[in-house]
Amino acid sequence: MLKAYKYRMYPTKQQEEMFSKHFGCVRVIYNWALEQKIKSYEQDGKAISRFTLNKTIPTLYKDMEWLKEVNSQSLRGATLNLDNAFTRFFREKTGFPKFKSKKNPVQSFSVPQYYKVDFETNKVKLPKIGWIKTKLHRHFDGNLKTATVSKTSSGKYFISILVDDGKELPDKQDFDENSAVGIDVGIKDFAIMSNGEKIDNPRHLNNSVKRLKVLQKRLSRKQRGSKNRDKAKQQIAKLHEKIANQRNDFQHKLTSRLISENQAIALETLTVSGMLKNHKLAQSISDVSWSSFVTKLEYKAEWYGKSILRIGQFEPSTKICNVCGYHNNNITLVERQWQCPDCGASHDRDVNAAINIKKFALNKQNLIGI
């Protein structure tokens, strides 16, 4: 089973310079490889493989000798990242790969092999760079795979180490109506369970939006190219990083609890990209980050042998009475409570939706009535 472990790095000034060289050289190779792929397709109508590109990289050393200063395998890792970008483009339609800019504050490079991790001294050794002070706060056992060094927009350095612990993913555990839960995500409440529990939306971005506006206003007044403008950018980047850390911490704690308490979790498929086109709700939807929440649920379910059940985005989970099945076409977004005219049952709009999500998902699994 593959797991990634992320650690904060504290390089010296000299090591930071080597990091910058690696970031720059990897970016150059990525852009060069993308250009070669585009030219090959336009001229010959064929795609050029990354293996062919890797064989061509040594010929670039004549005109760009500074490429020799960095780890050659990191350069070849750039062509692999480009291949993965094209794979996502063709399979997931996520957008055609773009050329990378050195103005982007977020930079990274990969180290496929020949690096070492020493937990006793809290250091990581990278080819061409040496031993780097690293906060190795979590221990792991297994075979080291690819490591990725990254720099955030706030100027911090991290290393993500992919480890194969040799374990197999556990088999999916059996579940029934009692061990499954339906979840309806929202904006007022972050998550509503079919058992009636509601998880408050922490609104991390909304809580910091006033401070963010102040910092952005200060940035707009700074002269372009000045050091004070760079400092203002750093302050904004640090605030965005704090918000992202708060959001991830909240979601990790919640998803871990949900996975440990239930054998199966039923969710509604949402097209977040389409929902973001609603300018009145776009900021609130971005703040809750449903996609990130679902991603965490999915990979943790794989780790522990739990099941994630899905229902279609057009299933009328909100409009159907979970008691008698009456379809209420007249319900609006403003109505948070409604009463079924057929059976008289009173419904909380979101709890009713969560119950129906669970019922629809179990019905597809032929588990209703167990």
Active site residues: 184, 268, 350
pLDDT at 367: 61
C-alpha 237/C-alpha 181 separation (Å) is 38
Q: Is residue 38 within 8 Å of residue 89, measured between CB atoms?
A: no
pLDDT, position 370: 39
- What per-residue confidence (pLDDT) applies to 13? 96
CB 354 within 8 A of CB 265: no
DSSP string covering 93-153, please? ---------TT-S-EEEEE-SS-EEETTTTEEEETTTEEEEEE--S---SEEEEEEEEE-T
Label residue 133 exposed, middle or buried (CB < 10 Å: 0-12, 13-18, 19+): middle
Whether residue 220 contacts residue 233, with contact meaning beta carbons closer than 8 Å, is answered with no
- Tell me the residue ranges of DSSP E strands in the chain: 2-10, 107-111, 116-118, 123-126, 130-135, 143-151, 157-164, 180-185, 189-193, 198-200, 264-268, 307-311, 337-339, 346-348
Separation CA 334–CA 66 (nearest Å) = 62
**Of 188, 172, 347, 337, residue with least CA distance to 265:** 172
Q: What's at 176, amino acid-wise? A: D
pLDDT attached to residue 298: 94
Q: Work out the angle at residue 290's Cα, subtended by the Cα atoms of residues 285 and 291, and round it to the nearest 5 degrees.
A: 120
pLDDT tens for the chain, 370 residues long, are 899 999 999 999 999 999 999 999 999 999 999 999 999 988 888 888 999 999 999 999 989 999 999 999 999 999 999 999 999 898 877 789 999 998 888 999 999 999 999 999 999 999 999 999 999 999 999 999 999 999 999 999 999 999 998 889 899 989 888 899 999 998 888 999 999 899 999 999 989 999 999 999 999 999 998 999 999 999 999 999 999 999 999 999 999 999 999 999 999 888 777 777 777 778 887 888 888 999 999 999 999 999 999 888 778 888 888 888 888 888 777 788 888 888 888 888 889 889 999 988 888 776 654 3
Q: Which of 315, 339, 311 minimizes the C-alpha distance to 326? A: 339
Pair 191, 294: CB distance under 8 Å: no
pLDDT of residue 125: 97
Find the length of the chain. 370
Walk me through the domains of the chain, giving residue ranges and CATH numbers.
Answer: 2-164 (no CATH), 180-201+249-364 (3.30.420)
User: How many C-beta neighbours within 10 Å does residue 103 have?
Assistant: 5
Nearest to 317 by CA among 356, 347, 346: 356
Bridging pattern class, strands 180-185 and 337-339? unpaired
The pTM of the full predicted model, rounded to 2 decimals, is: 0.85
